[in-house]
Amino acid sequence: MQKDLKDGYQNIYYPQLEIPSVLIMDNAPIHRKNVIREMVEETEHQVIFLPKYSPDLNNIEHDFSALKRARMYASSHKSLDEIICDYCII
């Protein structure tokens, strides 16, 4: 798997990057592999990891928060689908 990962970065991603570049990655287990860090250190690129939980950097988190709040205050007869539709319709 590490060979596939390394080949993917070297053959697909790196050729598209301008040097120097900053790679911003989330904390997905695949991104935390040492092989990624080692490959980046061999280039002029830099890796920055997002904080473990960063709702301000992820727009969907704002929507999830609003939907949770809407569900909390909705009547017990209203389905989740109705709540989502009401939220999405402007």
Same domain, 44 and 63: no
In terms of domains, do 39 and 71 share one?
Answer: no
What pLDDT score does 77 carry?
92
Query: Residue 90 pLDDT > 60, yes or no?
Result: no
Q: Which residue has the higher pLDDT, 30 or 24?
A: 24
Pair 46, 66 in one domain: no
Q: Do 39 and 6 share a structural domain?
A: yes
Rg (CA), the chain: 20
Contact in structure between 45 and 23 (CB atoms under 8 Å): yes
Question: Given this model, what pLDDT does residue 24 score?
Answer: 79
Residues 74 and 46 in one domain: no
Number of domain units in the chain: 2
How far is 63 from 55, CA to CA, in rounded Å? Answer: 10
Q: Residue 14: pLDDT above 70?
A: no
Residue 40 lies in domain: 2-52
Give the mean pLDDT of the chain: 78
- Domain identity same for 24 and 63: no
Q: What is the pLDDT of residues 32-75, one digit of tens each?
A: 667 777 777 777 778 887 777 777 777 788 888 889 999 999 99
Asked whether residue 37 falls in the same domain as residue 75, the answer is: no
